[in-house]
Structure 1
Amino acid sequence: MTRSINRMTWIAIAALAVLVLAAGATSVWTSRIQAGAVARLNDSGDLVRNHMTADMMHDAIRGDVLTVLAARNNPGLDSADAARSLTKDIAALREALAVDRAYVAAPDVAQAATRITADADRYAAAAQAIVKAAQVDPARAGAQLPAFLKSFDTLEKSMSEVSDTIDRHADAVAAGASATASLANILIVGAAAITVLVVLLVGYAARRFVVAPLIALVGVVRRMSEGDLSVEVPAASRRDELGQLAGATLAFRDQLAGAERAKQEQTDLIVGSVGDALSRLADGDLMVRVNAELTGPFAKLKSDFNNAAQALQSTMRRVSDSTSGINNGAADIRQASDDLSQRTEQQAASLEQTAAAMEQITSGVRESAARAARANAAVEQARDEAQRSGEVMQAAVEAMGAIERTSGEISDIISVIDGIAFQTNLLALNAGVEAARAGDAGKGFAVVASEVRALAQRSADAAKDVKARITASADQVGNGVGLVGETGEALTRIIERITEINGLVREIAASAEQQSTSLVQVSTAVSEMDGVTQQNAAMVEQATAAARSLAEEADMLASQVARFRTGGGAVTPLATARAEPAPAPAATARLAPQRIVRQAGNAALAVEDDWSSF
């Protein structure tokens, strides 16, 4: 039976597709049943929450009734608000019980909710009766409270029975959902396991019947590409696509073997004719030609070899003719480079000296600028001190004026004291006259009047003395005020002269700074010129070395060309007729450090690398 890999592949794909569809259908079905279980769980949860609401309303109704009864003794409680809350709580209780009765997923829950409806109505009616009675007769309302509490306990028991029924239903729904989830997991895991098993079987079959033979054929082709044409081709007896591929590989191996034999025969012919010609060509015989009769594509090889030999012969003749000219030109270039090197070294030395002189001048000007700046700062300080001295002198003038005014005021006070002493003396004199008139009775008073007169006289004398001294002091103070004023004017003139000197020193400092900046620029330019000259000297040295190397290479070229047979005259290497001045080692050694010092960070090193590579 003829097998086909293509048909087997389609069968495997179809089987995998069926498995994938079956797994997908299983997943969809399990998702649906899980969604139903989740919906039932949600409904049971809503039922539990609704019944909890009914239970809370059951307790809230009792709280409303107790609030109405307590409002008569507690002014802080509002009975009307409690009555309105009671109406709302009763409506909420009845609505929650109606939801329980309408739950169709659990008939026992609906039946239990129906059984407690009457208890709930009696409980609500008792609560409303107490609230109405409390508004008219609080005592009668209090008497109805025990019956109300009894109905509360009855409804409480009924509500507990309904709660137990709802809890049992919720537990049953949760257990069913868990069983549904377990079944779904089992189905999904089973489908996945079957799918993996089928995929592994398909992979194993593909690996054994398709991939392994293909790997073997790849190894055969690789060995054939490496030249092993004796290799056995596997799977040649198969009747599928791999058998066809193996037959094609076998035919290709036979073709390669025939081509290899033909190539070997042609190679022997080529080696016999072209190999001898290449050997003579390697020995320098450019007049050799291939004379063997070659056919097919190797005839072109013969023609190309002969043409190449002819072209190489002509080229070597021209190279031989040009070698003498290269030697002469290299000698001229070397001589010119030596002369240029000497002149460049001299120029570099001169620029180096100029740069050193400019650096000294720049340093001197920079120091002069610094001294001018310090002188300017000193003049500024002197001007500030003179200004402060002028201010102190002005304050002294004002103080002397105040002392002069105070002396005048004291003199006026002394004049008043002198007048008082004069009046006291007159009064004492009059008292003495009156005491003399009184006789013996006025003797004591006459003694006192005499003492007062003497005291007034001494006071008048002292006042005159003080006044004289104060007058002399005022004259001295006036003279001091005049001298201090003249000193202030002199200080003002000194400040003006210092200010003028300060401006001149500032201009000198600015000019020195500008000169320093200009000299720095000139020194920088000279340093750059020195660096460029040093760089040029280095390049000239390198050019000289390159010219000398070129002359040596030209001699070597002439020696190499002389070993070829071109059919023309022999080429003799030209000896250097001119003296080769050796480069000055000392100058080179001197220039190299200067280039490093002056050209650090610029392009000189890059230029040296370029010339050394040349």
Structure 2
Amino acid sequence: MGWFKNLKIARKLQLAFLAVLVLMTILGVFSISQLAKVKNASSEISRDWMPAQKKLGDIKLYFVRLRGTESQLAIYDGDVEAMNGLVSRSQAILSGLDKTMKDYQASLDSPQEREIYPKVAAQITEFLGEHKKIVAAFLAKNNGQGRDLFLGYSNKLYPQILGDLEKLIKINQEGGDAATAGADDTFSQSRVGILGLLVVALVIGMGLALYVARIIAAPLQQAVGIARRVAAGDLGAEIAVHSKDETGQLMLALQTMNEGLRQVVGQVRNGTDSIATASTEIATGNLDLSRRTEQQATALEETASALEELTSTVKQNTDNARQANQLAMAASGVAVRGGGVVGQVVETMEAIHDASNRIVEIISVIDGIAFQTNILALNAAVEAARAGEQGRGFAVVASEVRSLAQRSASAAKEIKQLIDDSVSKVGAGTSLVRQAGSTMSDVVESVKRVTDVVSEISAASNEQSVGIDEINRAVAQMDEVTQQNAALVEQAAAAAQSMQEQASGLASTVSVFKLR
């Protein structure tokens, strides 16, 4: 019956109900067939035997009444009115008897009736002939003849006819009894058969019901037990699938669900442990971060104060740099002008040096002239000495000229020395002036560079001032953000503490589940 287990529940129920319906159909068909037999027997009794008995009874009754009218005719001798009434009554009896006999003759069924009834009908015909004679005799007031006829052949036929009618009635009674017995037998057999089929149907139906209920209810009870174990937190149940129907699919789904829950709960348990550890670390870290954030906020406040002082200093430096730039620019102008003056001085010194060289040359010429004059004066003195008295004046003049020449030579030497000193000093001064010019050029370049540097310093100071203002704003924002961060860190610490508590609660909740 493994194939039956794997059927869908609807198909199982359909097959079970179909089997019950087949059994009920068999039972119904059998019952209907047996009821048809009982109906046929009842129809035979009601259609054949009972009407025949009634008709035979009516014939017998008509016959007895007709015989009674004959007796009454003998009694009512001379009473014409009573006799006429009896005659009318006998006519009605004869009419009913004739009709009943025709109906009975039309309904003859059994061979015995067909054998006996013609004889009875002939006897009745003979009896009716005698009856007419008796009535006619009494109506003619031949009472003696009437009594003779009444006690004669008619009296002989009467018991024979009654006996034959009783035979016919007995035949119909026996036929009815036989039909009744057949109906009873059919009913008994039907009852036994129906009861047997009913018992078989009940047994098969109960067996199918119990089997279907067992193969459906057992997995459902197992599923309910597993669901209760899962509801109680026990995920260690081993779920076996024995069929492919809805209950098997349910067990397979429970197996998949149990495995999934086992994995999920395991992961949740590990996750809650990790979350608890992480939340503890986060809470600790948040507390440390909160302290550091507060320290940072304090440091930022101090930094903001220092930056304000630095801003003031930088602004002063900017002003000083601006003034230094102005002074450097002024110094640069002065240095440029000084460089021009030094250049002019160099040119003048070079002109003086050239003039001094020329003076030296002139003095050299003068010294040469003085030397030659001295020589000439010496020669004149020699010549004056040679000339004697005539040359004395000339000797004096020559002596004076020589003295002047010597003095001129001496003055020229001194002038030359002075000029040489001046030339050397002018040369040294020129060299120094040139060096001063070069130095002044360097100073001018340096002043320009200083001016540029001071300009750059001034610009940088301005930018630094702007940057420090931005830094101040940034520090203010950082201070505000730090304050917000401190508040957020406190909130995060509280949230981490709450998360730790929730993780502990979740871990406690998850600990209810038993994985294995």
Structure 1-normalised TM-score? 0.42
Choose between structure 1 and 2 for higher RCO, CA contacts under 8 A separated by at least 6 residues: 2
